[in-house]
């Protein structure tokens, strides 16, 4: 099965590093898409980025090569190499141009360098994402994606209709009272995950894609921008009365 | 000083550090610091553009660390290379950054009080990242700068409300996937060519004729897929509406005009400079397939924009449609299409800036951007409305705004390559945009509500009380940037030939079909 | 044709900019200083008319006046050029603007209309765009001003700001922008790209007939794209915007939809036929008769529809559509006298139709009546108005000694030049139909008795409404007696 030229040989022996990184990539991708918990999604993201890092590092490896740090004592030709003019006491610490025959003894340092940068970027992303998760948790009380989506839809459904307008919609007075209730418990005190379920509870969007999909949140126009409480709104102009009462 | 190119990045970088450090002492210092650093950056990018225009090879090159370009292939250092395209985009980035930083005083105070130091630090770092993307000549450095821009963008959005934070998470996931795919593609490129310098990669591809190499094809797909995700090309766009709609006002004014457009620039850079015309257009299948995807993208985005009742969401979907235009302009593979695409990058940045600045002012004064809350704004805020609708007419494509000229070139490009599907989609989406903006005008101007009933007492009475129709313009710090942006939209339109001349000089180095045959 | 002498002069630009200056004055004067505001409009209109009229001697001597505004593309400038037909159109538009302003003052104040400042400022903008179209020297410039006109007339059409205004505005803008963005723009860029490789300026003098280099199908497709792309010309089926735009106040209908907007449309079509394609190319084109057929169909069908309309303004709107078809027909005839007759008809019809619209509006101001059936006996109470209506109707029908006769005469001659006798038949039938739908209005007013015979409160409309319509009615006479000047302007021998 593992003879030369067969698919298994090509995949698992000759190109093992590719195979591994692809598997890790897909695991990470699957986690980002399929997992419900936001933290697990982030773990998936981390695995995804790690796969790429492993790939890069693996392409610098050479058979029988050593780490790319130049120590003159390990260099069999050190005595023959030209010395740096100002390095007479401590020996040849300066960078030397290696002869072609020596190059293959060292692994390629460039991918390592690139991946140090990528690791730093990954760390920064992870840190940022975790703090955003913390913010979500403090704001909505959950880090489960399905619960979060429900809460967002509820809030968007409640706030999207009435609160944003300059004049209240004349539809259901129930909405208007809810909007005045809502206006008091805006944003920061959002333990209000338990809203009055006036909008129908939507079924859990199972196997949702990693994004709370644009479509389901599409219907909601949230006026979250008006964090200034409506009392401020009323400061400028009289409260919005229904049309018939408006003085002209 | 001759190295203006690096000062484009250094001004905002130092400004960010200054904001972060001294902001603890005094929050009021952040706004002036940001304005001054943006002024410096704009000056440096103007100088760089002039240098690039006047240089005999039409580019300005700067190697970080002083490494030389002599070693094969094209050196070992990180090169910052401002050819005409990069210099133009850098100017657009810094110009937009300046206008938004002028604008930012009131919204930042109102929406993120107390967080100004962090906000402005992230703001200036974002400009650094975006300008760096426009100027870098090294593929891996591009990844780093993409991530700088992305991370600061995530931070800027998440500094808003909780809803914004929820939208950011989605953006983080998708953005990281995109950038990581790009990184993977760069890995393949390095694997095969041994260099990370953009021009160097193309030289290796051409000298070793790697057109059919499977690893290069994989690299191409990965790189472009990553970029497409980051530029919100349909169907990878789902992060954009929520992120831009719920973000703080200044953030959306900064990100919306710039981020997706700079990613389009990256795509053009990859296609032209890194992989080369022959590889990208003739050795892959993208030229045949992508315009059809573009058709789907534009149509879906336009239709979804029609369904919105909130200005900012509508504008976000318009961005997705405009991205479709630009991607289509590149992949129809001809000279006019690329001119149109590049010019559209510039003009779309200006007109999206105009629209989002206007939407921000509407939000500030009317506390809502929902369509129902807009009646009577022509009387209340006439100057803002003029500025906003200059941007709107530019999106529709009415002369003499810049949007007309970019549409002109795109249509011409579609015609030359006989891509009738792209042309018809352009027409269709133009009509949709006409409907969008004139519907908005109707909502503001007419005394009719959505269901068609008359409001008010007739004779132009809009059913509003005196307070809502009183002249109450935006604060000057928000109004002047908007009017500045509107005048830039018109000026870029009137002077479009100057810009297009430079674009043509840039494109002359590449062998693109012009499709001209006449009797 | 001999090369015309080109004179560089700033006067075309002045004519274009006068309304803008006037607009600034109008906005500054505002609602509080209404008389000063009206003065600004009159000032701008008079200045514009004076500038335009001052160009007449120069043009009659055979020269052509140019002014280069801006090089918008490398090879295509925004260029203003005044030649005979353009100047004729500009004279008509600017003189009638003065009359319409006087009329609008009376109308708007008589009905206590709202938002008059906005009204007058966008009115001025529309006239600036009209001047721009009249003086354009190439296709791109004409397109710019065409779009500017569409946008600047939108607030005028939706002036009443109610439900009907919304519907009317949607129809109006929908038709106009759809056709111009989807039909006209591709045609323009086709010409730009495929002719001379993007170096073409699409100039009306320099590039006449270059379209002939295209293949046969391309030529016909382009011709139809241009014809229907300029939807302001009101060819069927792109005509529905015109009745829809009647929701506007009457001064708007009068000037814009009898003089400015629709005449811009047919003038653009004339330019395309005469100066982009050119008579030789047109005559040799195989499918070209179809444009004549479409125009004739428009004439006949709209006249028939006009017969059935009871709302006076709608009847006049459909009459306008028919009369516009005359101009397109004349342009499509591709003969000198046919195309000259087309341009003449722009002038004659403008004068006649504006009289009719002024009368319709005066009737509405004085009595509130909109329908023809209600007009019985009105002639006795409002003799001046109905008298002017009679004169305008006779001019539109085409009887001497009124102006309409000259243009129809030359159209018929042009048709005979081309041996297209069926066109003459169409002209005769449509004139007959004009009689049937225009004269009964006057006859009802003068010779029928009404139920409200004893109602003595009805009298003439306020004088600012009546004076303009008398002046334009007189204008119909003058156009007949001065027709030799007009003929010289369009290049025909009197």
Disruptive mutation site among B375, B386, B412 for chain C (greatest number of C CBs within 10 Å) = B412
Q: Which residues of C touch B (CB under 8 A)?
A: 70-74, 112-115, 143-144, 147-148, 151, 154-155, 158-163, 165-166, 169-170, 173, 177-178, 181-182, 185-186, 189-190, 192-198, 213
The alpha carbon torsion through B463, B466, B468, B474 (nearest 10 deg) reads 150
Look at residue B461 and tell me whether its pLDDT is greater than 50: yes
* Residue A4: count of CB within 10 angstroms of its CB: 8
Q: What's residue B231's pLDDT?
A: 93
Which chain B residue's Cα is nearest to C111? Answer: B459
Q: Specify the DSSP element, H or E, that contains B79.
A: strand B78-83
Instruction: Tell me phi and psi for residue B42, to 5 degrees.
Output: -65, -45
Q: Taking CB atoms and an 8 Å limit, are A211 and B174 in contact across chains?
A: yes
Residue pLDDT, tens place only, B421-433: 999 999 999 999 9
Q: Taking CB atoms and an 8 Å limit, are B438 and C173 in contact across chains?
A: yes
Which chain B residue's Cα is nearest to C181? Answer: B427
| B356 contacts B315 by C-beta, under 8 angstroms | yes
Look at residue A76 and tell me whether its pLDDT is greater than 90: no
Contacts of residue A49 in chain B, CB cutoff 8 Å? 176, 180
Q: Taking CB atoms and an 8 Å limit, are B446 and C74 in contact across chains?
A: no
Name the residue among A114, A113, A118 with its Cα closest to residue A48. Answer: A118
Contact with chain B for residue A233, Cβ under 8 A:
yes
Cα–Cα distance list, B475 to B103, B284, C127 (Å): 10, 53, 34
DSSP C348-415: HHHHHHHHHHHHHHHHHHHH---BGGGGTTHHHHSHHHHHHHHHHHHHHHT-TTSHHHHHHHHHHHHH
Residue pLDDT, tens place only, C3-34: 678 888 888 888 899 999 999 999 888 888 88
Q: Taking CB atoms and an 8 Å limit, are B162 and A225 in contact across chains?
A: no
Contacts of residue B416 in chain C, CB cutoff 8 Å? 193
Q: Do chains B and C touch (3 or more CB pairs under 8 A)?
A: yes
Q: What is the mean pLDDT of residues C394-419?
A: 86
Query: With a CB-CB cutoff of 8 Å, which residues 121-150 of chain A face chain B?
Result: 121, 124-125, 128-129, 131-133, 135-136, 138-140, 148
Residue pLDDT, tens place only, B15-41: 999 999 987 788 888 999 999 999 999
Name the residue among B75, B260, B186 with its Cα closest to residue A121. Answer: B186
Instruction: Tell me phi and psi for residue B105, to 5 degrees.
Output: -60, -55
| Dist. CA B161–CA A154, nearest whole Å | 16
| Dist. CA B336–CA A219, nearest whole Å | 39
In three-state secondary structure terms, C69 is strand
Point out the residue among B411, B442, B516 whose CB comes nearest to the CB of C189: B411
**Across the strands, what pairs with C78?**
C70
Q: What is the mean pLDDT of residues A198-216?
A: 42
Q: Taking CB atoms and an 8 Å limit, are C158 and B448 in contact across chains?
A: no
**For chain C, which chains pass the contact test of at least 3 CB pairs under 8 Å?**
B
Q: Do chains A and C touch (3 or more CB pairs under 8 A)?
A: no
Point out the residue among A59, A136, A238 whose CB comes nearest to the CB of B169: A136
Q: At a CB cut-off of 8 Å and minimum separation 6, what does B12 contact? A: B37, B38, B41, B97, B124, B125, B127, B128, B131
Contact with chain C for residue B393, Cβ under 8 A:
yes
Look at residue A85 and tell me whether its pLDDT is greater than 50: no
Q: What's residue C456's pLDDT?
A: 64
Contacts of residue B162 in chain A, CB cutoff 8 Å? 135-136, 138-140, 187-188, 190, 224
Average model confidence (pLDDT) for chain C? Answer: 85
Look at residue B227 and tell me whether its pLDDT is greater than 90: yes
Residue pLDDT, tens place only, C137-186: 888 889 999 999 999 999 999 888 888 888 888 999 899 999 998 888 88
**Across the strands, what pairs with B78?**
B64
Q: What's residue C460's pLDDT?
A: 76
Q: What's residue C196's pLDDT?
A: 57
Which chain B residue's Cα is nearest to A223? Answer: B368
Q: What is the mean pLDDT of residues C242-261?
A: 84
Query: Comparing A106 with C128, which gets the higher pLDDT?
Result: C128
Which chain B residue's Cα is nearest to A231? Answer: B367
Query: With a CB-CB cutoff of 8 Å, which residues 37-56 of chain A face chain B?
Result: 38, 41, 45, 48-49, 52, 55-56
Q: What's residue A200's pLDDT?
A: 42
> What pTM, to 2 d.p., does this model score?
0.87
Q: What's residue C65's pLDDT?
A: 83
**For chain A, which chains pass the contact test of at least 3 CB pairs under 8 Å?**
B
Residue pLDDT, tens place only, B346-374: 999 999 999 999 999 999 888 888 888 88
Listed range (B117-126, B186-195, B341-350, C397-406) with the worst mean pLDDT: C397-406
| Dist. CA C246–CA C264, nearest whole Å | 17
Q: Taking CB atoms and an 8 Å limit, are C186 and B411 in contact across chains?
A: yes
Look at residue C326 and tell me whether its pLDDT is greater than 50: yes
Cis bond upstream, residue A87 (ω within 30) = no
């Amino acid at each position: 099965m593992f003879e030369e030229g067969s698919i298994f040989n090509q995949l698992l022996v000759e190109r093992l590093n590719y195979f591994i990184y692809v598997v890790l990539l897909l695991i990470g991708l699957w986690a980002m898409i399929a997992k419900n918990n936001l933290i697990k999604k982030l773990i998936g993201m981390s695995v995804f980025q790690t796969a790429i890092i492993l790939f890069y590092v693996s392409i610098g490896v050479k058979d029988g090569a050593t780490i790319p740090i130049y120590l003159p004592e390990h260099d069999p030709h050190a005595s023959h190499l030209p010395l740096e003019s100002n390095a007479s006491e401590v020996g040849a610490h300066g960078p030397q141009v290696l002869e072609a025959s020596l190059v293959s003894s060292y692994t390629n340092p460039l991918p390592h360098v690139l991946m140090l940068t990528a690791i730093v970027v990954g760390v920064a992303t992870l840190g940022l994402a975790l703090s955003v998760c913390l913010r979500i948790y403090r704001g909505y009380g959950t880090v489960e994606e399905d619960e979060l989506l429900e809460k967002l839809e509820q809030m968007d459904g409640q706030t999207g209709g009435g609160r944003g307008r300059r004049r209240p919609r004349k539809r259901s007075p129930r909405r208007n009272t809810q909007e005045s209730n809502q206006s008091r418990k805006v944003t920061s005190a959002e333990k209000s995950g338990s809203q009055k379920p006036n909008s129908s509870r939507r079924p859990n969007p199972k196997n949702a894609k990693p994004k709370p999909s644009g479509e389901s949140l599409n219907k909601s126009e949230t006026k979250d921008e008006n964090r200034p409480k409506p009392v401020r709104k009323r400061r400028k102009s009289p409260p919005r009365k229904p049309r018939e009462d408006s003085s002209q | 000083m001759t190295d203006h190119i690096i000062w484009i990045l250094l001004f905002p970088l130092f400004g960010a550090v200054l904001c972060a450090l001294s902001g603890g002492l005094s929050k009021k210092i952040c706004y002036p610091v940001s304005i001054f650093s943006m002024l410096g950056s704009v000056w440096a990018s103007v100088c760089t553009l002039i240098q690039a225009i006047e240089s005999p090879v039409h580019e300005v090159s700067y190697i970080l660390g002083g490494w030389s370009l002599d070693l094969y292939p094209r050196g070992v250092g990180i090169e910052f290379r401002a050819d005409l395209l990069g210099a133009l985009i850098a100017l657009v980035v810094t110009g937009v950054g300046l206008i938004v930083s002028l604008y930012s005083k009131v919204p930042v105070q109102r929406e993120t009080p107390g967080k100004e130091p962090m906000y402005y630090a992230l703001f200036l770092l974002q400009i650094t990242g975006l300008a760096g993307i426009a100027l870098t000549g090294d593929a891996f450095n591009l990844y780093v700068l993409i991530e700088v821009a992305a991370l600061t963008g995530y931070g800027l959005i998440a500094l808003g409300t909780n809803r914004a934070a929820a939208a950011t998470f989605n953006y983080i996931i998708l953005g990281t996937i995109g950038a990581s795919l790009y990184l993977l593609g760069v890995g393949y490129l390095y694997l095969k060519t041994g260099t990370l310098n953009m021009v160097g990669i193309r030289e290796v591809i051409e000298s070793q004729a790697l057109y059919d190499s499977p690893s290069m094809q994989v690299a191409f797909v990965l790189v472009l897929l990553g970029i497409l995700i980051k530029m919100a090309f349909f169907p990878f766009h789902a992060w954009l509406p929520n992120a831009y709609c719920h973000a703080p006002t200044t953030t959306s004014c900064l990100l919306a005009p710039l981020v997706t457009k700079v990613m389009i620039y990256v795509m053009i850079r990859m296609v032209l400079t890194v992989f080369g015309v022959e590889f990208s257009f003739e050795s892959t299948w993208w030229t045949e397939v992508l315009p059809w995807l573009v058709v789907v993208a534009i149509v879906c985005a336009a239709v979804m924009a029609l369904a919105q009742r909130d200005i900012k969401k509508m504008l976000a979907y318009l961005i997705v449609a405009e991205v479709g235009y630009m991607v289509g302009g590149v992949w129809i593979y001809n000279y006019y299409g690329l001119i149109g695409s590049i010019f559209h990058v510039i003009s779309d940045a200006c007109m999206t800036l105009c629209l989002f600045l206007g939407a921000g002012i509407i939000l500030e004064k009317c506390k809502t951007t929902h369509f129902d809350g807009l009646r009577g704004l022509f009387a209340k805020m006439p100057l803002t409305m003029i500025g906003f609708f200059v941007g709107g007419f530019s999106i529709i494509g009415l002369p003499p705004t810049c949007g007309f000229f970019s549409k002109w070139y795109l249509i011409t490009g579609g015609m030359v390559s006989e891509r009738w599907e792209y042309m018809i989609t352009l027409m269709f989406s133009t009509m949709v945009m006409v409907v969008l903006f004139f519907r908005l005008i109707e909502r503001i101007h007419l005394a009719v509500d959505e269901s068609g009933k008359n409001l008010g007492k007739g004779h132009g009475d809009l059913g509003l009380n005196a307070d809502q129709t009183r002249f109450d313009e935006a604060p000057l710090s928000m109004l002047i940037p908007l009017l500045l942006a509107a005048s830039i939209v018109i000026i870029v339109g009137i002077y479009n030939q100057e810009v297009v001349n430079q674009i043509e000089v840039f494109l002359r180095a590449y062998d693109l079909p012009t499709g001209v045959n006449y009797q | 044709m001999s090369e015309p002498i080109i004179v560089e002069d700033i006067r075309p630009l002045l004519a274009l900019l006068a309304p803008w200056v006037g607009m600034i004055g109008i906005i500054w004067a505002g609602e509080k200083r209404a008389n000063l505001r009206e003065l600004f409009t009159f000032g701008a209109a008079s200045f514009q008319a004076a500038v335009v009229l001052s160009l007449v001697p120069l043009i009659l001597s055979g020269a052509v006046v140019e002014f280069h505004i801006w090089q918008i593309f490398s090879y295509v400038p925004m260029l203003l050029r005044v030649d005979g037909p353009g100047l004729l159109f500009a004279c008509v538009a600017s003189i009638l603007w003065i009359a319409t302003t006087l009329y609008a003052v009376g109308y708007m104040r008589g009905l206590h209309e709202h938002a008059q400042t906005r009204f007058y400022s966008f009115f001025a903008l529309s006239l600036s765009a009209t001047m721009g179209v009249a003086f354009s020297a190439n296709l791109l410039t004409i397109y710019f001003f065409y779009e500017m006109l569409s946008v600047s007339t939108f607030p005028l059409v939706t002036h009443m700001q109610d439900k009907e205004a919304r519907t009317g505005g949607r129809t109006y803008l929908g038709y106009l922008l759809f056709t111009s963005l989807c039909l006209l723009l591709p045609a323009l860029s086709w010409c730009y790209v495929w002719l001379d490789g993007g170096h073409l300026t699409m100039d009306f003098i320099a590039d006449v007939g270059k379209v002939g280099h295209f293949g046969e199908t391309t030529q016909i497709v382009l011709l139809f794209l241009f014809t229907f792309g300029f939807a302001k010309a009101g060819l069927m089926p792109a005509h529905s915007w015109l009745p829809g735009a009647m929701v506007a106040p009457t001064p708007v209908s009068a000037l814009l939809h009898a003089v400015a907007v629709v005449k811009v449309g047919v003038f653009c079509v004339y330019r395309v036929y005469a100066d982009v394609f050119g008579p030789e190319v047109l005559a040799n084109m195989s499918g070209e008769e179809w444009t004549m057929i479409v125009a004739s169909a428009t004439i006949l069908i709209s006249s028939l529809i006009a017969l059935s309309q009871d709302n006076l303004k709608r009847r006049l709107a459909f009459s306008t559509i028919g009369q516009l078809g005359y101009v397109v027909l004349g342009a499509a005839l591709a003969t000198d006298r046919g195309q000259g007759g087309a341009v003449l008809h722009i002038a004659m019809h403008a004068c006649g139709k504006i009289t009719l619209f002024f009368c319709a509006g005066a009737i509405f101001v004085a009595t509130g009546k909109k329908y023809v059936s209600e007009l019985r006996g009105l002639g006795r109470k409002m003799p001046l108005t109905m008298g002017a209506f009679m004169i305008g109707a006779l001019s539109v029908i085409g009887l001497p000694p009124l102006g309409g006769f000259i243009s129809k005469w030359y159209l018929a001659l042009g048709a005979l030049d081309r041996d297209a006798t069926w066109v003459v038949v169409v002209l005769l039938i449509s004139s007959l139909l004009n009689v049937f739908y225009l004269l009964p209005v006057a006859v009802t007013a003068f010779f029928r008795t009404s139920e409200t015979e004893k109602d003595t409160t009805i009298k003439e409309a306020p004088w600012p409404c009546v004076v303009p319509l008398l002046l334009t009615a007189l204008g119909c006479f003058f156009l007949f007696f001065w027709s030799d000047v007009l003929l010289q302007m369009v290049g025909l021998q009197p």
